[in-house]
Structure 1
Amino acid sequence: MRSLVGATIGGGRYRVVSHLGSGGMASVYRATHMDLGHDVAMKFLHARVSGHDDRARFRREARLGAVLDHPNCIRTLDFSEAEDTMAIIMELLEGPTVRGVMDRGPMPVSTAVTIALHVLDALAHVHRRGILHRDVKPGNVMYGRRRDVLVPILIDFGLAKSFEEDPLDPPNRVCLGSPVSGQITAPGICCGSPSYIAPERIRRHRYGPASDVYAVGVLLYEMLTGERPFRGRSPRDIMVAAVRVPPRPLCALASPISPRLERVVLRALEKEPDRRYRSADEMALDLSDVAGSGEIEVPPCDAAPEVLLDDMSGLLADRVWQSINSAASGPARAA
């Protein structure tokens, strides 16, 4: 895709300032609203993948994002479509992703629980709006400012779908990862990131909010232990393990882990959705009970860990976005 730096988009309302990152399906730029003067993120669909179906999915992503209004969800501000360009205009976030935080070293239990509670709160709102995210993972939770406080924000609704659509993954769907990442694999694999796809989706059964709850279970497991519950040498191996193999006990990988906290995580990872938490609200209730029991010390849900506030001092949003998207066009990871 040619560089759009310097271009004006949306009838002259936005001027593209800098390129932040690219993936297989889209590129993200920083832009300035010409009338209001504030900066935004603009996600452009690549021309080489802008067939009718691709453009329809991109419009759907914009429409679904526009109905969300929650502090833990990224804000979709506008949409622009011209003959040769399509762009989703979103708020420009300034923090690292949870993946970036995890890569720095072990995460305190209190931080992991706080992040999970924020994500569950976001998903509860998303589900109430009749939407499934379908790609909850550490790279899709990013810190951003809300009232001058950094909080985790759920991003990338490229794989989201509404409840009104058939809740089955077509057998010939070929993507692994969101349309932004462009990660693909062989036909017959359902959409998503292998380690976070719920067993019912892998088996091509009907699914609903509990499939997003499963992904939060994987996320929380990984934040607490530094490892994912299921391993394999290929995406297919990981998904076979998710369907057939019980997760390794958290206490065998990290210490100390509260038994009550471990029970919450393992219930979220149940193979059968009817044995799992039925909703994000239900899991959040149990997780909040653990947090309030005194077994772990959890800061208020509107507070970001101090280490993140220190790390974020003077950090430029465009550098953060560039680091987030630097590996976006790479192959799907097996573990």
Structure 2
Amino acid sequence: MDVLSLEVPLGPILGEGTSGTVQPLAQDTFGRFVVKRIKKSEDKQVVTEEVRLLKLASAECPYVLRFAFAFETPTELLVITEACDLPLWDALVHAKEWQDQSLASTGLIERRCWSAGLCSAVCHCHSLRILHRDINPWNVLLVKESGIWSPRLGDFGLAVELQGEELQGTEATSDGVAALDDSAVGSLYSAPELGKRYGFPADVFSLGMTLVALWASASMDEGKPAVPVCLFHIDMSSRFGLRSILSRRTL
């Protein structure tokens, strides 16, 4: 078992990407937390900006992933945040398989609360002039608190503090703005203008598409047709997950 310099034991690896790993803190006296361990070989300025914006956004909004603290070792940057239970995407697609039946039986009231929470999170970020640029069902996390499921907007790896009204292009800049990769620009959940000239409305589009996925799934769970806008976007792209949600029922 790995031990941080704070002598806090870590649990098994929960996730692993090109930049590092995520592990839970085995000590839960003060709540559930995870550690994102980022290799020093990554662009330090971009990583530092991600941490700064997450810290700023989570300070006064309960629907943004809660930042605890961060520190460095000789080889890694360690970022400690609250622990969440699963991505929204897994709740939409695999809820019936989830061991917690309260998630499998999620109804319209809960989905309304999730929708309102996500709208609040995006509005809060924009009030701080933070443009997320990567809102989708994989970057919305769910956490269970006192028996109630609540959403968190997470993964600020592509977020940027917007100085003017717009950004342009996909390249990284000298002030810590991460480059937009093909998966971000080409996603069904991304605004058509992302990577060209874009601003806060790009996040609103992505939020809307995420809510479409949430409510399309709710409609199918009740045996009702999905909303017409879902069909429009199904015709636009079959590469991403919205099609797999809608195809579970005959429309």
Give me the TM-score of the superposition, normalised by structure 2. 0.71
In the alignment, which residue of structure 2 is the partner of 1:159? 158
CA distance in 2, matches of 1:115, 1:38: 22
How far does the alpha carbon of each residue in 1:244-298 deviate from its partner, in whole angstroms, 9 at most, with x for none? xxxxxx9xxx84568xxx7xx79xx9xxxxxxxxxxxxxxxxxxxxxxxxxxxxx
Bigger relative contact order, structure 1 or 2 (CA pairs below 8 A, ≥6 apart) = 1
Two-structure CA RMSD over aligned residues (Å): 3.5
Say if 2:51 is the partner of 1:62.
yes
In the alignment, which residue of structure 2 is the partner of 1:7? 3
CA distance in 1, matches of 2:49, 2:119: 23
Given residue 239 of structure 2, which amino acid in structure 1 is its aligned partner? A
Shift of 1:112: 4.0
5 Å-filtered alignment, 1:44-193, equals 44-47=37-40, 50-51=41-42, 54-67=43-56, 68=58, 69-93=60-84, 95-104=85-94, 110-146=109-145, 148-164=147-163, 167-172=166-171, 189=182, 191=184
How far does the alpha carbon of each residue in 1:149-201 deviate from its partner, in whole angstroms, 9 at most, with x for none? 3211111111111112784253446xxxxx9xxxx96xxx4845611111221
Q: 1:103 to 1:171 in 2, by over 3 A?
A: closer
Q: 1:21 to 1:165 in 2, by over 3 A?
A: farther
CA distance in 1, matches of 2:203, 2:33: 28
CA distance in 2, matches of 1:125, 1:157: 14
Say if 2:208 is the partner of 1:221.
no
5 Å-filtered alignment, 1:225-304, equals 225-226=216-217, 255-256=224-225
Given residue 66 of structure 1, which amino acid in structure 2 is its aligned partner? K
Q: Which structure: larger Rg?
A: 1
In the alignment, which residue of structure 1 is the partner of 2:24? 30
Give me the TM-score of the superposition, normalised by structure 1. 0.55
Q: Is the 8 A contact 2:216 2:226 kept in 1?
A: no
CA distance in 2, matches of 1:172, 1:71: 32
In the alignment, which residue of structure 1 is the partner of 2:192? 199
CA distance in 2, matches of 1:40, 1:82: 19
Aligned residues: 215
Q: Is the 8 A contact 1:130 1:163 kept in 2?
A: yes
Shift of 1:134: 1.2
Shift of 1:111: 4.7
Q: Report sequence identity in percent.
A: 21
CA distance in 1, matches of 2:86, 2:11: 21
In the alignment, which residue of structure 2 is the partner of 1:20? 14
Q: 1:257 to 1:7 in 2, by over 3 A?
A: closer
Shift of 1:25: 1.9
Q: Is the 8 A contact 1:136 1:212 kept in 2?
A: yes
Q: Is the 8 A contact 1:98 1:141 kept in 2?
A: yes
Q: Is the 8 A contact 1:135 1:193 kept in 2?
A: no
Q: Is the 8 A contact 1:32 1:38 kept in 2?
A: no
Q: Is the 8 A contact 2:185 2:194 kept in 1?
A: no
Listed as ranges, the gaps of 5+ residues in structure 2 are: 97-105, 173-177, 241-251
Listed as ranges, the gaps of 5+ residues in structure 1 are: 174-178, 227-249, 270-332
CA distance in 2, matches of 1:150, 1:110: 11
CA distance in 2, matches of 1:90, 1:221: 28
Q: 1:190 to 1:161 in 2, by over 3 A?
A: farther
Q: 1:119 to 1:29 in 2, by over 3 A?
A: same
Q: Is the 8 A contact 1:136 1:216 kept in 2?
A: yes
